[in-house]
Amino acid sequence: MLEPINISMESLNLATLTPMLVAIGGGLIILVLDLLNSKLHKSLYVMLTLLILFIDFGAVTGLNVNERGFFDVMLIDGVSIVSQLLIIAASMLFTPLALTSKRFHEYSYPEFFALFLFMVAGFQFMAASDNLILIFVGLETSSLSLYTLIALHNRANSFEAAIKYFTMGALAAAFYAMGSAIIYALTGSVELYKVAEVLATRLDETGIMVAVFGGAVMLLVAFAFKMSLYPFHSWAPDVYEGSSASLAGYMSVVPKVAAIVVTVRIFGMYIDLGVEWVRYILLALAVLTMTLSNIMALVQEDVKRMLAYSSISHAGFIMAAIGLDTTEGTTAIFLYYTLFLFTNLGAFSMLWVSRHKVKRYSDRYDHPYEKFAGLIHIMPIGAVIMALFMLSLAGVPPFSVFWGKIYVMQAAVNSGFIWLAIVMGINSAISAYYYLKLVVYMFLKEPTKDTNTVYYNLSRPLMAVIGLATVATITAVMYVQPLISYIYYMVSASGY
Amino acid sequence: MDNILSVLVFFPAIAGLLGFVVDKNSARAYGITVASIEFLLSLWLWFSFDTTDAGMQFVENIPLIPDFGVSYYLGVDGISLFIVIMATLMTLIGMISMSITENIKNMIVTLLFLEMTMVGVFVSLDAIIFYLFWELSLVPMLYIIGAWGGNLRVYAAVKFFLYTFTGSLVMLVGMLSLAYLYHNTTGVWSFAITDWYLLDLSTTEQLWLFVAFFLGFAIKVPMFPFHTWLPYAHGQAPTIGSVILAAVLLKMGTYGFVRFSLPIFPDASVMMITPIVTLSIIMIVYTAMVAYAQKDIKQVIAYSSVSHMGIIMVGIFAMNAEGISGSIFQMLSHGIVSGALFMLVGMLYDRRGTKLMSEFGGLASVMPKFAVIFGIMLMASVGLPLTIGFVGEFLVLVGFYNVSPIMTMLAGTSIIVGAVYMLTLYKKSFFGPVTNEINKSLKDLSKIELISLLPLVAIVVWLGVYPKPVLQPIDNSVKAMVEFMDKKAKTQEAKDVIKTVKVKREVK
């Protein structure tokens, strides 16, 4: 005779679920609206999405730190709150980019926005759980939505990108499933905090290390793929090229933030348990990622592919911070991505502004460097803004990414990894070359063709987003202090 | 006005922003007016500066990122005061003499931003703020070289940027490590240079950190093996770019040594005397020889400028008041003299469109005023007594004689070799018959050119004859610094080097 299950509503603590429910509910509302009236304009959906994200944002800020809920699978600690806020803020910045002056296929479908909200909910689940199964559910929800969003762009290379991303992503998901299975087999639990307890007692057993190693490597492969770390990065440039510039900018930040939270949880646990080789693998991956992708970026002929490689390199910086596993290191991750978000999304938006329906400058690329030649004569403000973003990405003070960079480097120095800080410095110097290349094209070369339509796709909402990104990039020094103290407080409250 | 330093830093930047609105036909007048106001402000700074006080004055300290130890911390002492004034003066004079007409508005705006970064570097007392201005100064210079330069301008501009950027990132790691050591000792995060002075570092730590800072500064100076970017930058830069680069930007490197390396790492500095001075002597002699072999007048001056930076380096590492004061004075004299020489070459280039020595000859008869001023500047550059160049060079050599007479002898050859190539240059282009027909119709200096050059001539003679008003405040601050270094030095070796000098000074 089975015991009747008896659960009180209080113990479920459904408040922890509200943010995701808001996003999912919002997505459903959009679908229902479409059923009722299929002739609605995309601007309605854009604004609706923004509003839903706004409520979502409010729901996250209302959460209490260090709570569990829903059969203890939800974990609302400081890290999950900070990362959810970051994810939602980035999504809010991204959404208005749909309101371009030219009509692009995908935005006429309300499904685009519904899927987008489901994806955000998926990311939020990844960030707000330490249950390996729920993380898997979040990972798959968000990934499947993202593949579709890419394919909706409706060009040959978008399909290529979506399918490439999908097949590779499926492989990564398989690795994730196997890695979690090994952990479950070892410890009898899928809850990370219980896993840590069991592992701590059994770590001295001979033979168990092999299994730990196997599990760690498989999970690492899965997340290295998501964060596009070397050698699992090869999909990134093609996928970014195939998707719309705005979505590429979004992909260079948000999915990575979600994956990073999970990585911090899993590998932070390993390092805390004293499994030092995990740290060295992470650091090695970080160094390889930032160096090799930088070198690859040097030879790119297309600005979007260059930015794709540059985002990979920045992910290497983040990976290094994860490997440090100190409070400063983890603070650095979120600080870096917050500052990087504005600059990078701004840079991709500038590409989005210059997007044409047909390739006008080269047969192969949408955004070859030649396209931006002499931009200072054609579109002076645009050229200055783009140059600001490039200098910021290169780490020239006082622009935003510089503060992220020195904080990561300081965290490395504090943990005694001075060589790592030097590697980061040298990589910044290498990266300056390809960022400067674009600046040189924009400022020091003459326009190649009749190109008075570079700012083809510009519209007021895009200007607003780019303006916001520019202000955030320039005035970073003003808000770095509150940002650091908030993130540091949140991170240390959750024990990282 | 206690916050005059902030005004000095941000006035040109705000003027630069507003400059976007000014009509392009009035841009030049606007730029000159703004630069004059800035120069007057810097003179005001000098008048309100208490010359008897060796410490930091007009200090402003506002916490910016307290959790990370970064604050907006400015101050000026005798060491930085005159470099700031020189920076504003050279910007003003460079603007007056500028012959560029194409995209003049962009040039003016860029120059004003550059002026902000230059003043900012010399008055920052917080390492991160220093680094901020230091890096930011690369961007306008990149644009000046890249947009108005010669045929290889993009290559030269990018090379300049990447070289300096790489070096300074290593320096940044050094700064972060130093902040970390400070945090370990005191429990507080601070990037303030004055806090770092008080930090007690072991010799090994000092050595490593010294090397990190050395890379950043040495590339900027530029020291011997890192100097290869400079001839390209000078060769391709427009006149105004070369003037600012030689007069002010290079001084950032030597200033960095005085402000950071010596007081923070006294022991390591003493240990590094021999290698660094050896490099400096190689730099002095080698680049002087290279200068002799050049066919292009501007390249001669570019290499001579590198050679004279070597003298400044030798003086800094004399580790005594004479040497360091002499170095700082030499920075000023080098700024004014090489700036003037670059302007003169630029004027010649504007007239003829070439800078090759073989194209000229007998210019003294065609352009007498030009020849006279060129001659005075040339003599100052060589270090003729009663010119500004002599004072600094003499003090440097006297100072370093206490450390090593032999090395001083070698460094002193710079005066001889310098005289050789400079006089050859002068002979080839100014004396003899006018061989080239076109040169006969060359016009002598115009009024504007005279207005921009005569003040420099006046300064060259004035400070050559009576350097005291400038030398006195410099010497005050330097003496305080040397005494501080002596107190702080831990190894006996360092104490010996710094102390012997002190005793000798007392004997005098």
Let me know: does B156 contact B232? Beta carbons within 8 Å: yes
* β-strand partners of A129: A74
Is the CB of A485 less than 8 angstroms away from the CB of B67? Answer: yes
pLDDT at B507: 43
In angstroms, the CA A486 to CA A492 distance is 10
Residue B506 pLDDT greater than 50, yes or no:
no
Burial of residue A357, with CB atoms counted within 10 A of its CB: 0-12 exposed, 13-18 middle, 19 or more buried: exposed
Lowest-confidence region among A113-117, A362-366, B80-84, B375-379: A362-366
SS3 for B443-500 is: CCCCHHHHHHHHHHHHHHHHHHHCCHHHHHHHHHHHHHHHHHHHHHCCCHHHHHHHHH
Pairing of strands A67-69, A74-76: antiparallel
- Of B157, B169, B176, nearest to A413 by CB-CB distance is B176
What value does the mean pLDDT take over residues A464-482?
92
Residues of B in contact with A443 (CB under 8 A): 143, 146-147
Average the pLDDT over B218-227 and give the result: 88
CA pair distance A320, A230, nearest whole angstrom: 13
pTM: 0.91
Element (H, E) at A67: strand A67-69
pLDDT at A453 over 80: no
pLDDT at B119 > cutoff 90: yes
Token pair 């798959």 in the structure block, residue: A140
Residues of A in contact with B132 (CB under 8 A): 397-398
For the cut 90, the answer to whether the pLDDT of residue A397 exceeds it is no
List CB contacts of A303: < 8 A, sequence separation 6 or more: A351, A367, A368, A369, A371, A372, A438
Tell me the residue type at B215.
L
**A139-179 pLDDT tens trace:** 999 999 999 999 888 888 888 999 999 999 999 999 999 99
CA distance A435 to A458: 23
What integer is the mean pLDDT of A367-387? 85
Indicate yes or no: CB of B169 within 8 angstroms of CB of A425.
Answer: yes
Residue B205 at interface with chain A, using a CB cutoff of 8 Å: no
* Chain B interface test: which of A444, A445, A490 (most B C-beta within 10 Å): A444
B131 and chain A: CB distance < 8 Å anywhere? yes
- For chain A, how many helices (H) and strands (E)? 21, 2
Average pLDDT on B148-162 reads 89
Percentage with pLDDT > 70 across chain A: 96
* Contacts A–B by Cβ distance under 8 A: 90
How confident is the model at residue A1, as a pLDDT?
60
Which chain B residue lies closest to A486 (C-alpha atoms)?
B67
A153 vs A151: CA distance, rounded Å? 5
**Closest residue of chain A to B128, computed from CA coordinates:** A397
pLDDT of residue B508: 40
Contacts of A395 in chain B (CB under 8 A): 169
Of the candidates B172, B272, B280, the residue with the CA atom closest to the CA atom of residue B226: B280
Query: What integer pLDDT is reported at residue B34 of this predicted model?
Result: 94
Separation in Å, CA of B145 to nearest CA in chain A: 10
Cα B281 to Cα B314: distance, rounded to the nearest angstrom: 8
Give mean pLDDT, residues A374-382.
83
Chain A CB within 8 Å of residue B182 CB: no
**DSSP characters over B16-74:** HHHHTTS-TTTHHHHHHHHHHHHHHHHHHHHHTS-TT--S-EEEEEEEEEGGGTEEEEE
Nearest-by-CA chain A residue for B138: A396
How far are the Cα atoms of A76, B81, B167 from residue B468, in angstroms, in the given order? 69, 15, 36
Q: What is the mean pLDDT of residues B170-199?
A: 91
What's the DSSP call for residue B442? Answer: -
Name the nearest CA neighbour of B371 among B390, B352, B344, B349. B344
pLDDT of residue B499: 59
Mean pLDDT, chain A, rounded, equals: 88
Please list the residues that pair with A67 across neighbouring strands.
A76
Chain B neighbors of A409, CB-CB under 8 A: 172-173, 176
- Per-residue pLDDT for A480 more than 70? yes
Q: How far apart are CA A464 and CA A22, in angstroms?
A: 26
Q: Which residues of B touch A480 (CB under 8 A)?
A: 65, 68
Q: Which residues contact B459 (CB under 8 A, 6 or more apart)?
A: B336, B388
- Taking the C-alpha atoms of residue A465 and residue A246, their distance in angstroms, rounded to an integer, is 11
Indicate the helix (H) or strand (E) that contains A69. strand A67-69
- In DSSP terms, B76 is beta-bridged to B57
Q: If you average pLDDT over residues B314-329, what whole number do you get? A: 90
Which residues on chain A are in Cβ contact (under 8 Å) with B169? 395, 425-426, 428-429
Comparing CA positions, the residue from A83, A59, A46, A486 lying closest to residue A253 is A83
CB count within 10 Å of CB A181 equals 14
Place of tokens 């002068």: B426
What's the mean pLDDT in A103-113?
83
The token pair that represents A405 in the structure block: 């960079």
Q: What is the pLDDT of residue A454?
A: 61
pLDDT per residue over B240-250, tens digit each?
Answer: 999 999 999 99
Question: What pairs with residue B73 in β-bridges?
Answer: B61
Q: Which residues in chain B are contacts of A410 at CB distance < 8 A?
A: 68, 176, 179-180
Two structure tokens written together for B90: 């050279």
Contact A474, A403 (CB under 8 A): no
User: What per-residue confidence (pLDDT) applies to A110?
Assistant: 87
Nearest by CB to residue A477, choosing from B64, B136, B162, is: B64
B331 touches B251 (CB < 8 A) = yes
Question: Closest Cα partner for B165 from A412, A291, A431?
Answer: A431
Find the CB nearest A429 among B166, B180, B183.
B166
* CA distance, residue A161 to nearest chain B CA (Å): 35
pLDDT band at B429 (very low <50, low <70, confident <90, very high): confident
Is residue A196 pLDDT above 90, yes or no? no
Rounded Cα distance, A370 and A378, in Å: 13
Q: Is the pLDDT of residue A452 over 60?
A: no
Q: How far is it, in rounded angstroms, from Cα A345 to Cα A85? A: 16
Judged by CB atoms closer than 8 Å, whether chains meet at B176 and A421 is answered as yes
CA distance B132 to chain A (A): 5
H/E segment holding residue A187: helix A156-187
Q: What are the φ and ψ backbone dihedral angles of B205, each rounded to 5 degrees?
A: -60, -45
H or E element, residue A75: strand A74-76
pLDDT of residue B401 exceeding 70, the answer is yes
Tens digit of pLDDT for each residue in A59-95? 999 888 878 877 778 888 889 999 999 999 999 999 9
The type of residue at B211 is V
pLDDT of residue A455: 64
Cβ-based interface (< 8 Å): residues of A facing B: 391, 394-398, 403, 406-407, 409-410, 413-414, 418, 421-422, 425-426, 428-429, 432-433, 436, 439-440, 443-445, 477, 480-481, 484-485, 488
**B169 in contact with chain A, both atoms CB, cutoff 8 A:** yes
pLDDT value, residue B25:
87
Q: Which residues contact B292 (CB under 8 A, 6 or more apart)?
A: B300, B417, B420, B421, B424
> Does residue B177 belong to the interface with chain A, where contact is any CB pair within 8 Å?
yes
pLDDT digits (tens, 9 = 90+) for A7-27: 777 777 778 888 999 999 999
The pairing of strands A74-76 and B57-65 is unpaired
Which of B151, B170, B172, B181 to substitute to test the interface with A, most A CBs within 10 Å? Answer: B172
* Count of beta carbons in the 10 Å neighbourhood of residue B48: 12
Contacts with A477 from chain B: Cβ below 8 Å: 64-65
Tell me the C-alpha distance between A300 and B143, whole Å.
Answer: 23
Q: What is the mean pLDDT of the segment spanning B341-356?
A: 89
The token pair that represents A221 in the structure block:
């492969």
Give the pLDDT confidence score for residue A342 in this predicted structure. Answer: 92
Task: Output the average pLDDT for chain B.
Answer: 89
Residue B53 neighbours by CB under 8 Å, 6+ apart: B476
Summarize the confidence of residues A132-145 as an average pLDDT.
Answer: 92
What is each CA distance from B252 to A132, B8, B248, in whole angstroms? 55, 17, 7
Residue of A nearest to B159 (CA): A433
For position A450, what pLDDT does the model report? 60
- pLDDT tens track for A323-347: 888 888 999 999 999 999 999 999 9
Mean pLDDT of B29-50: 93
Helix boundaries (H) for B138-152? 138-148
Tell me which chain A residues have a C-beta less than 8 angstroms from the C-beta of B154: 440, 444-445
Whether pLDDT at B389 is above 70: yes
Judged by CB atoms closer than 8 Å, whether chains meet at A436 and B146 is answered as no
Distance of alpha carbon A353 from its chain centroid, rounded? 21
d(CA A385, CA A472): 12
Instruction: Say which amino acid occupies B125.
Output: L
The verdict on a CB contact (< 8 Å) between B65 and A477 is yes
pLDDT for A335 equals 93
